Structures are given as C-alpha cells and as structure tokens.
Amino acid sequence: MIEIEIVDSSGNSHILSGDSGETVRDVAEGARIVGAMGECGGFLACGTCHIILDDSWAGRAGTANDDELFMLNGAIGRQPSSRLACQMTLDETLNGLIVHVCTA
Amino acid sequence: MAIEFDPTSATFDRDFYSNIKAMRENCRAYRHEGTLIPAVSVFRHADVVPMLQDWENWSSGRSEIMKKRGFGIASIMVGDDPPDHTRYRKLMAPFFMPVSVNSFDEIISREIDVAMEKCLNAGEIDLVEDFAGPIVNGLICKICGIPEEDREFIRSKAMLVAAHYGKGLFWKEPNPEIEAIIAKVGWEFGFYFIQHVEVLKKSKTPSILSTLSEQLAEPREIAAICALMIAAGLETTTNMIVHGMQELIRHPLQMAKLRCDNGLMNSAIEEMFRFRGTLRRHERVAVHDSKIDDVEIAAGDSVILWNASANRDPAVFDRPEEFLIDRTPNRHIAFGSGIHTCLGIIMARAEMRLTFQRLLDATSSIEETRGGDSYESYGNGVMDVAKRYSVKLIG
C-alpha cells in the first residue's frame, strides 16, 4: 500500500492509502474528497480534479504529459506544481505524497 | 405480471420518477418489445456508470441511427467514439474550461439584469419564456456571435427539438411527422450556421464559432458543431433553472434554508442537477453480444442508460427521493460520466449559481400563480422539458 496525504479545500488533512496502479483520484474518490474526485471518473475529460503538489513534492512527482497540460491550461488557479489527480498513478516513489485540492 | 415500461406512453412524463423507481427496484435491464430500433434500458447506478465510462464496449457511434431519426446534424462528437470524438472535443474544450467560462460571468449577469427588470414585481410571468429562456439563450447567442434579432429563431427551433428529442428510440411505428419537424430544424440550423459563420469571418467578429470554423474543414462539420452547442447548451440549462426553482417552491423549508445561508448555494445547485437533471438518459450502442441478468443484448442494440434513475438509486444516495439542498457528498451523474462527460459543466454551474443568487437576493418571495395549473410540460419524458411555469417574483 502507498500512503498519501490529501489536504481538502477546508484545509483538513486526510491520510489515505492506495494500491500501486491506482490514481490519486481513485484514492480521493474512495474518501469522497470534494475537488479531487473529478466529474468524469478519471478520463481526462473535465479537468475538475485539479490538485497542487505540496512544496515538499515539487519536482519529485513526475510531470504532466501534453494531454494533461492541455486540460490544465484551462484551469483556474494553475500553479507550476498543478496536476490532475486522475493522471497521477501511484507507485512506490509516491509513498508519502502530499497534495492540496485547488481552492481557486 | 410482466412489467411494462413505455417512454412513449401519454402518462410517462407525468409519472416519470415513480415509473423509473419501479423499474430500478424490479430489474437491472429491460428489453423494449416491438421498437423499430432494438433497445434495452438500464436503471441502476452500479450498471449505468461503468457502461457510460466503457466507450470501447458501449459505443457512442450512433450517428447512423440518429440520422435515420432526423438527429444526424447534432450527433457529431456526442455521437462519435475516439478518435473522432477526441478530435472534436479537443477543438471545443478550451472554450468551456474554467478560465474561459470565468469570462462569461459578465455576460450572464447582464442577461440576468435584463430578465429581472422585466420580471421582478411584474405580476404573473412565465419563468420559461420570460426569464430562464432569455438568459440562457442570451449567453449562447452572445458567445456564438449571433445577433439579437436572430435569438428568437434560435430559441424557437431549439425548443422544437427539445420537445421531441430522444423519443425516436422507443417508437414502434415510424413517426414521419415528428421526424420531418426535427429534420427541418436540422436543415434550418445547418443553413443558418453556415451563412452565419461566413458573416462572422468576413466581419472579423470574434466568437467561438469563427474560431472553431477555422479548424474545421467541412461546412457540414461547422453546422453540426454549432447545432450541438445550441442543442446541448440551451434547453438543458433553461429547464434546469425552471425545475430547480420548481423544487425550491415545492420544498419551502429548503427554500427558506437557502435564503438564510448563502453558503449552501453550490450544494443546492448540485441537488437540483441530481433531482431534476434535464437529460434523463444517455444512449450507447452495444459493441458485443452480452447479457444483464436474463436480458440478452446483441451487438448493435441500443442501450438506454437512465442517469435520472441512477441519480435516485438508494444504493448510492441516502433518502434519494428527498430534495435536500445541503446533500453532501452528491456524486450525481446528471452530466454523464467518462469521456463524454458534458463539456458545459462549468458553464451550466455558473449560469445556475448567478441566476439563483440574483433571484434570491432580489426577491422576498417567489410564488406559483395558478395553483396546480402553474406548470406545464411538453411531455417529452426522456428529457425534462417545461412548456410554461407561471410564477411571480415579489421584491
């Protein structure tokens, strides 16, 4: 199991765990964390699972591909460490990941 | 006794939610007998969502079927699978993402100003024709560069489609009259938009349509994308405003709660989408032979996924038949799910939020004016379409 921390839009921290191969969105869906579940169910169709990597993880959690960047271009409150939760697939390197639901 | 589920029956729209509840409780899938197009309905959240998401096994490539029923022109993108779907979606998506929609707020607010001036303290008004329709139509027309004098044309044609849309799948006999009406709208829209885009280009008027047209090769595609934007964006939100208000009026405690706590606006709007979403079903085509319980589905059969039923499934929602504006979480699928998730989600929410905020801020009371006869529906059934809603907005 891989442990991640999602900080919701109210600033509450949720320590959650998921299996390798699941996405951050899948884990958020299981915990019903509004703002990280997205509308479309993880198909890169809506851009509504906008999360921001914690400063401590900036540059350490992979990079967005062109399709993800396309969707992020339309997001409000985009930051250099913005990602879509549906595009972040868990593996051992993300153990301890901390992300924040975008509140913009 | 065999269950009968006939979306073309005269009482289907009136009794929609009790019909759909009975079906959801009694069967996972239902084969419609004797329809011209072989069709199976599916009702439960646990079935509807995965089927909506699995485009490889449950295809949206139904353009051919739709063309036969006179809906061909508006089936582009929504009637396509990848890669065609992806190509069209990528062209349209940038216009409907949060950053773009933010710039619509000013237009929406202006349309609301005009509607409020006409309707507030004006005695009886029709919330459909005097208020919601003009606001939503005004926004769509504005962003498409459609001049004011053409707005009535757009709205009247869109209403004709909405009154009949989606029923063709359940016909047991050809219905040439309705097919002719819909086909005529298709041709009129096509002709109008091809000319309109040319005017926009010549006058260098910035609009979504002129930008899109630069990236689409064929006039048919331009016309189809334009028709889709109108079809998808106009009657859906117009009816959502009307039915959202109807539910608030029917539930005075919820209305009072919302008036007292502005912070509930977003969750109230989500509950309106869940409880009375305009599009009650989505359609897919089976790619392979399969079976749901004892209902056999053959490749090529149409499958009707009743999202309005899934949105009241007690397996997912507590007290699903109650309208609760503070419901949370509220994972409804009023906008679909998967790659075809409605592109206009953000825009629809903005229209609803700004409209209801203004309505509640500007009024002390909103009341029906004709008792039990205040509301009249087109009786479509598969789409929740209001014909008239007589109310008064009291400042």
> Does residue B98 sit at the A interface (CB-CB below 8 Å)?
yes
Name the residue among B93, B97, B338 with its Cβ closest to that of A43.
Answer: B338
Average pLDDT over residues B67-92: 77
At B71, the pLDDT band (50, 70, 90 cuts) reads very low
> Does residue B9 sit at the A interface (CB-CB below 8 Å)?
no
Query: Which of B88, B339, B343, B347 is most worth mutating to test chain A (most A CB atoms within 10 A of its CB)?
Result: B339
CB-CB neighbors (< 8 A) of A30 in chain B: none
At B177, the pLDDT band (50, 70, 90 cuts) reads very high
Nearest CA of chain A to the CA of B10: how many Å?
34
Nearest CA of chain B to the CA of A14: how many Å?
16
pTM: 0.94
Of residues B204 and B241, the one with the higher pLDDT is: B241
Burial (0-12, 13-18, 19+ Cβ within 10 Å), B360:
middle
Q: Does residue B2 surpass a pLDDT of 70?
A: no
What pLDDT sits at residue B63?
Answer: 59
Share of chain B above pLDDT 70, in %: 96
- Alpha-carbon distance of B268 to B311, in angstroms, equals 15
**Contact between A73 and B99 using a beta-carbon 8 Å cutoff:** yes
Q: Does residue B305 surpass a pLDDT of 70?
A: yes
What pLDDT sits at residue B66?
Answer: 58
Average pLDDT over residues B77-89: 90
Nearest CA of chain A to the CA of B120: how many Å?
33
Of residues B345 and B218, the one with the higher pLDDT is: B345
Name the residue among B94, B328, B338 with its Cβ closest to that of A45.
Answer: B338
CB-CB neighbors (< 8 A) of A39 in chain B: 335, 337, 341, 345
Average pLDDT over residues A18-22: 97
- Alpha-carbon distance of B265 to B288, in angstroms, equals 44
- Alpha-carbon distance of A89 to A81, in angstroms, equals 16
Q: Does residue B281 surpass a pLDDT of 80?
A: yes
Average pLDDT over residues B137-163: 93
What pLDDT sits at residue B64?
Answer: 59
The count of CB pairs under 8 A between chains A and B is 51
Residue located via tokens 């991640």? A4
Residue of A nearest to B89 (CA): A45
Nearest CA of chain B to the CA of A37: how many Å?
9
- Alpha-carbon distance of B283 to B297, in angstroms, equals 14
**Which of A23-32, B2-11, B32-41, B110-119 has the lowest average pLDDT?**
B2-11
CB-CB neighbors (< 8 A) of A43 in chain B: 53, 338-339, 341
**Contact between B341 and A76 using a beta-carbon 8 Å cutoff:** no
Q: Does residue B391 surpass a pLDDT of 60?
A: yes
What pLDDT sits at residue B254?
Answer: 98
Sequence-ordered strand ranges (E) for B269-336 = 282-286, 290-292, 295-297, 302-305
Q: What are the tokens at B383?
A: 């789409």
What pLDDT sits at residue B81?
Answer: 92
Nearest CA of chain A to the CA of B97: how many Å?
5
**Contact between B337 and A32 using a beta-carbon 8 Å cutoff:** no
- Alpha-carbon distance of A84 to B340, in angstroms, equals 18
Q: Does residue A104 surpass a pLDDT of 90?
A: no
Q: If DSSP codes are grouped into helix, strand and coil, which group holds residue A62?
A: coil
What pLDDT sits at residue B330?
Answer: 94
Tell which phi-psi region holds residue A81, choosing left (phi > 0), alpha (psi between -120 and 50) or beta: alpha
> Does residue B328 sit at the A interface (CB-CB below 8 Å)?
yes
Name the residue among B90, B102, B329 with its Cβ closest to that of A34.
Answer: B329
Q: Does residue B205 surpass a pLDDT of 90?
A: no
* Max mean pLDDT range (A80-84, B200-204, B229-233): A80-84
At B235, the pLDDT band (50, 70, 90 cuts) reads very high
What pLDDT sits at residue B70?
Answer: 46
What pLDDT sits at residue B301?
Answer: 94
At B69, the pLDDT band (50, 70, 90 cuts) reads low
- Alpha-carbon distance of B46 to B53, in angstroms, equals 12
Nearest CA of chain A to the CA of B65: how many Å?
25
Closest to B237 (Cα-Cα) out of B381, B139, B376, B119? B139
Q: Does residue B68 surpass a pLDDT of 70?
A: no
What pLDDT sits at residue B165?
Answer: 84
In contact, B230 and B158? CB cutoff 8 Å: yes
Mean pLDDT, all residues of chain B: 92
Mean pLDDT, all residues of chain A: 96
Enter the DSSP assignment of B31. Answer: E
CB-CB neighbors (< 8 A) of B49 in chain A: 41
In contact, A53 and A63? CB cutoff 8 Å: no
Name the residue among A48, A70, A75 with its Cβ closest to that of B99.
Answer: A75
What pLDDT sits at residue B213?
Answer: 86
Which H/E stretch holds residue B393? strand B386-394
- Give the model confidence (pLDDT) of A33-53 as tens digits: 999 999 999 999 999 999 999
Q: Does residue B75 surpass a pLDDT of 80?
A: no
Share of chain A above pLDDT 70, in %: 100
**Contact between A40 and B93 using a beta-carbon 8 Å cutoff:** no
> Does residue B89 sit at the A interface (CB-CB below 8 Å)?
yes
Query: Which of B274, B337, B347 is most worth mutating to test chain A (most A CB atoms within 10 A of its CB)?
Result: B337
What pLDDT sits at residue B4?
Answer: 84
At B59, the pLDDT band (50, 70, 90 cuts) reads very high
Residue located via tokens 């189809």? B224
